[in-house]
């Protein structure tokens, strides 16, 4: 995935335009796990909406597998901050929603996602309603729904922001394992430096609004990533490096893990 010189602005109050993205460049190789981190309100959501094909930018381009992706909503699958599992659908029906919407026959769609339930630690919960699942399981079901659409790029928007810290750590370990098995191409937005460093191959630091990518930090750890990864000496150094890359712009709210959800950039 290649994002080049993306700019975006929205009409603000008093006939001003608010410039949200000021030329964002971002390259993610196939099979790479990229994390995007930035201060609150730095326009991460605006960037996501463009990449997901929901909004048109004022300038720049997005290429996915060499194809122009702007305005196309069939190249990435998007997992929002809230799990957005629909309470009236069973877990398997929720997971199959993306396929159903794309015109896959309902039975076939459900059979296809049901095959993934064991892998996602949801075996036996196919017929349960989301209200019967724990927070971590809901998040796994939401990821299953995202993955089931079988698109080249996964966009994960602070997927663990609403979880308690113990569950979040478990989910990070689990996600690392899943990524190693399936070799997804992932772009993860997070407020959590620790999460970014632990999960990602590259960490991209976004400036305050109007946003540009100010730093690209390679994470040299191999795979698999396990609980032991957290204890590596370089882990703390990398966290420090990301923090400094963020710190130069006085962005508040960038320190690990608050996961504040509201008020991103040009989000209406």
Partner 1 sequence: MWSRQWRFLWPPTLLVAVLLLAWQGVAALSVRNPQVLPTPGAVLSAGWGQRTVLWQNTMTTLRETLLGFALSLVVSWLLATAMDFSGPIRRAVYPLLVVSQTLPIIVIAPVFVIWFGFGLMPKLLLVALATFFPLAASLSAGFAAADGDAMRLLRSMGASRWQAFVKVRVPGALPYFFTGLRVAITYAVGGAVFAEYAGSINGLGIYIQQMQDGFRTDLVFASVAVIALLSVALFASTFVLERMVTPWRRHDSAQNSTRNSDRSSTRDSERKGQHEWRR
Report how far residue 1's alpha carbon sits from residue 185's, in angstroms, rounded to the nearest whole number: 9
Q: What is the chain's percent helix, strand, coil content, to nearest 5? A: 35, 25, 45
Distance in Å, CB of 136 to partner 1, minimum: 8
In the complex, the residues that contact partner 1 under the rule CB under 8 A are 49, 52-54, 73-74, 76-78, 80-82, 84, 86-89, 97-98, 100-102, 129, 131-135, 138, 149, 162-164, 167, 268
In the complex with partner 1, which residue's Cβ is closer, 168 or 209? 168
Kindly tell me which of 17 and 102 has the beta carbon lying closer to partner 1.
102
26 forms bridges with which residues in the sheet?
A: 3
Find out whether the peptide bond into 224 is cis, omega within 30 degrees of 0.
Answer: yes
Q: How far is the CB of 216 from partner 1 (least distance, A)?
A: 26
Distance of CA 182 to the CA centre of its chain: 16
Q: How far is the CB of 221 from partner 1 (least distance, A)?
A: 29
Q: How far is the CB of 268 from partner 1 (least distance, A)?
A: 8
Which is closer to partner 1, CB of 53 or CB of 210? 53
Measure Cα distances from 14 to 9, 17, 18, 196 in Å.
15, 9, 11, 38
Minimum Å gap between C-beta 93 and partner 1 is: 10
Query: Is the Cβ of residue 75 or residue 219 nearer to partner 1 in the bound state?
Result: 75
Cα(113)–Cα(56) distance, integer angstroms:
31
**Closest CB to partner 1 among 141 and 241?**
141
Contact 205, 164 (CB under 8 A): no
């Amino acid at each position: 995935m290649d994002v080049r010189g993306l700019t975006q602005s929205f009409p603000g109050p008093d006939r001003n335009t608010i410039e949200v993205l000021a030329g964002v460049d971002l390259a993610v190789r196939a099979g790479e796990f990229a994390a995007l981190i930035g201060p609150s309100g730095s326009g991460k959501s605006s960037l996501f909406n463009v990449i997901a094909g929901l909004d048109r930018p004022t300038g720049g381009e997005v290429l996915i597998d060499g194809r122009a992706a702007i305005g196309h909503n069939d190249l990435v699958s998007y997992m929002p901050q809230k799990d957005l599992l629909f309470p009236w659908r069973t877990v398997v029906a929720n997971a199959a929603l993306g396929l159903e919407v794309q015109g896959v026959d309902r039975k076939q769609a459900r059979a296809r996602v049901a095959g993934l339930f064991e892998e996602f630690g949801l075996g036996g919960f196919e017929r349960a309603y989301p209200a019967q699942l724990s927070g971590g399981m809901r998040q796994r079901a939401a990821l299953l729904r995202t993955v089931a659409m079988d698109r080249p790029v996964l966009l994960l928007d602070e997927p663990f922001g609403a979880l308690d810290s113990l569950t979040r750590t478990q989910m990070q370990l689990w996600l690392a394992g899943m990524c190693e098995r399936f070799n997804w191409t992932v772009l993860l937005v997070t407020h959590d430096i620790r999460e970014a460093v632990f999960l990602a191959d590259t960490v991209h630091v976004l400036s305050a609004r109007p946003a540009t990518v100010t730093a690209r930090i390679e994470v040299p750890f191999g795979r698999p990533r396990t609980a032991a990864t957290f204890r590596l000496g370089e882990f703390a150094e990398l966290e420090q490096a990301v923090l400094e890359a963020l710190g130069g712009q006085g962005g508040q709210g960038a320190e690990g893990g608050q996961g504040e959800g509201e008020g991103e950039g040009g989000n209406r």
